[in-house]
Amino acid sequence: MEITVVQGDITRQQVDAVVNAANRAMRGGGGVDGAIHAAGGPAVLEDCIARFPRGLATGDAGWTTAGELPARWVIHVVGPNHRAGQTDRTLLTSCYARALEVADELGAATVAFPLVSAGIYGWPKDDAIAAAVETLAAAESAVAEARMVAYDHATYAAIRQSLPTT
């Protein structure tokens, strides 16, 4: 699997699946979650309600339609909320591993990832990047491209610098 990084808007990525950094309730929220729900339209929320009536556990992943997004699916992951004391790094790495497992079940070849838990959940950015890159690099998956999408240039540069050289 090739790990790439781009700077841009995750809701505009031309990929098979977009990963959403969701909250446990799976009913939309702020940050990446709010952007994906806004761009995907009501179909994303309707599918979340139907598929996840009790929400989703921290560290887990599940999929819904992508609605009006250019992607076919949204793979929702629930990252740990560092600010609320959820500091177990395995919950963070599980988000990436489980997202790839779901992508494999769906047959998704290209997947766009945000930097999970590094926004309002307060995970230290350098460690969030390391957790993402380490997990994706070690994963056995049929996904051809795992695309890290950074909203700002500083995050893009930090992710790019951390990517393994080939």
Mean pLDDT of 60-74: 98
At 95, the pLDDT band (50, 70, 90 cuts) reads very high
Contact 77, 99 (CB under 8 A): yes
Average pLDDT, whole number, for the chain? 97
pLDDT tens by residue, 120-152: 999 999 999 999 999 999 999 999 999 999 999
Residues of the chain with pLDDT > 90, as a percent, come to: 98
Summarize the confidence of residues 72-89 as an average pLDDT: 98
pLDDT at 166 over 80: no
* pLDDT given for residue 87 in this prediction: 98
Q: Which of 16, 33, 47, 60 is catalytic?
A: 33
Active site residue 16: no
Q: Which domains does the chain have, with CATH numbers?
A: 2-162 (3.40.220.10)
Q: What is the pLDDT of residue 80?
A: 98
Q: How many residues does the chain have?
A: 166
What pLDDT does residue 165 have? 80
Strand 73-78 with 145-150, pairing: unpaired
Q: Would you say the C-alpha torsion 19, 112, 63, 105 has a positive or negative sign?
A: negative
Cite the beta strand spans of the chain per DSSP E: 2-7, 17-22, 61-65, 73-78, 110-113, 145-150
